[in-house]
């Protein structure tokens, strides 16, 4: 179930599946912040709720989209979601556009959700609804292969184990819901994202293998095409990110992009240093989205 601060709406997708949108709305706002969570997250994660609160305190409505299978109910298909799956974001934005309520939408994505937003903005800008004005992507593994290498390091073993445990539980549940569709033999022995993505993510979503999935889904290659004001916030000490996840060259080549690399913040951290009790990332995101010139502010 959604958090008490939310009103849930189900979007039926064009391929017969669904995603759940959790809304936090006031009276009469014409501006909306659209929020996407990270790998195996959901709309009730503390970092999502913090961004919702920051938006509402500034008079904006907020909606958090749960990726397929992340809202507390399994999705209908054996496939789920992945780092490059932009179709659900697009269909959600088209549904919101049809409401006729908002004339301005800002996108905010965390980690995997940030990669999805950046890829969406850059892969075919001509299809993006006009009311999408700007975006902030936080702790983004914009080079998925490089991020997988970073997560394979011994110092990231705790994070990798936790995330793979969540993915294993979900894929075992999929095997129960779709008997015979998945070969689960040895699933408990998978220890790296490459092993999991080779075995499940890639074949379930039409990729040859993990490398093909990572290379085709990484947002870094799409940054040149982005034509909306967009800020990427990746902490220099983020353990999930390798050096290619800091796309300085692409940002220099596109004046619509801003890259902030504060020295600390970890992965979706950024505790303190904001105003009014906010995380710095929440404060910075709101400043970038709402105040011209705010991208020059550093941590």
Is 85 among the domain residues? yes
Is 161 among the domain residues? no
Of 37, 82, 106, 267, the catalytic one is: 267
Is 193 among the domain residues? no
Is 286 among the domain residues? yes
Is 282 among the domain residues? yes
Residue 124 has pLDDT above 60, yes or no: yes
The pLDDT > 70 percentage for the chain reads 95
Is 190 among the domain residues? no
Q: What does the pLDDT read at residue 274? A: 61
pLDDT tens track for 223-243: 999 999 999 999 999 999 999
* Beta carbons of 254 and 247 less than 8 angstroms apart: no
Decide if 238 is catalytic.
Answer: yes
pLDDT tens track for 76-97: 999 999 999 999 999 999 999 9
Is 153 among the domain residues? no
Crossing angle between the packed helical segments 112-123 and 87-99, to the nearest 10 degrees: 70
Mean pLDDT, the chain, integer: 94
Of 43, 238, 281, 295, the catalytic one is: 238
Is 155 among the domain residues? no
CATH value at residue 66: 3.40.50.1820
If one counts the domains in the chain, the total is: 1
Domain span at 246: 7-144+219-296
Of 111, 218, 219, 295, the catalytic one is: 111
* Beta carbons of 79 and 204 less than 8 angstroms apart: yes
- Nearest CA to 34 out of 127, 121, 104, 138 is that of 104
Stated pTM of the model:
0.95
Q: What does the pLDDT read at residue 277? A: 78
Mean pLDDT, rounded, for 4-19:
94
> Measuring CA to CA, how many Å separate 250 from each of 56, 98, 147?
32, 34, 18
Largest CA distance in the chain: 55
- Strands of 171-240 (E only): list them: 229-233
């Amino acid at each position: 179930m959604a958090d008490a601060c939310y009103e849930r709406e189900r979007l039926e997708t064009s391929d017969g599946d669904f995603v759940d949108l959790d809304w936090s709305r006031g009276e009469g706002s014409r501006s909306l912040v659209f929020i996407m969570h990270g790998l195996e997250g959901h709309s009730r994660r503390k970092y999502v709720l913090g961004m919702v609160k920051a938006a509402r305190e500034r008079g904006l409505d907020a909606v958090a989209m749960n990726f397929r299978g992340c809202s507390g109910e399994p999705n209908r298909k054996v496939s789920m979601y992945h780092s490059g799956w932009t179709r659900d974001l697009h269909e959600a934005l088209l549904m919101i556009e049809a409401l006729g309520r908002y004339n301005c939408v800002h996108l905010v994505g965390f980690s995997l959700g940030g990669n999805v937003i950046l890829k969406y903005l850059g892969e075919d800008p001509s299809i993006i609804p006009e009311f999408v004005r700007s975006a902030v992507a936080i702790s983004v593994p914009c080079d998925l292969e490089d991020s997988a290498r970073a997560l394979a390091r011994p110092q990231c073993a705790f994070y990798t184990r936790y995330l793979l445990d969540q993915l294993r539980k979900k894929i075992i549940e999929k095997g129960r819901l779709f008997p015979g569709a998945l070969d689960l033999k040895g699933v408990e022995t998978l220890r790296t994202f490459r092993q999991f993505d080779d075995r499940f993510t890639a074949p379930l979503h039409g990729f040859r293998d993990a490398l093909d999935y990572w290379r085709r889904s990484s947002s870094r290659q799409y940054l040149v095409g982005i034509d909306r004001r967009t800020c990427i916030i990746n902490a220099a000490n983020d353990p999930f990110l390798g050096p290619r996840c800091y796309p300085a060259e692409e940002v220099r080549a596109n004046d619509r992009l801003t890259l902030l690399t504060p020295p600390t913040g970890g992965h979706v951290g950024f505790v303190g240093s904001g105003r009014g009790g906010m995380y710095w990332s929440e404060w910075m995101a709101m400043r970038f989205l709402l105040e011209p010139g705010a991208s020059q502010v550093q941590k």
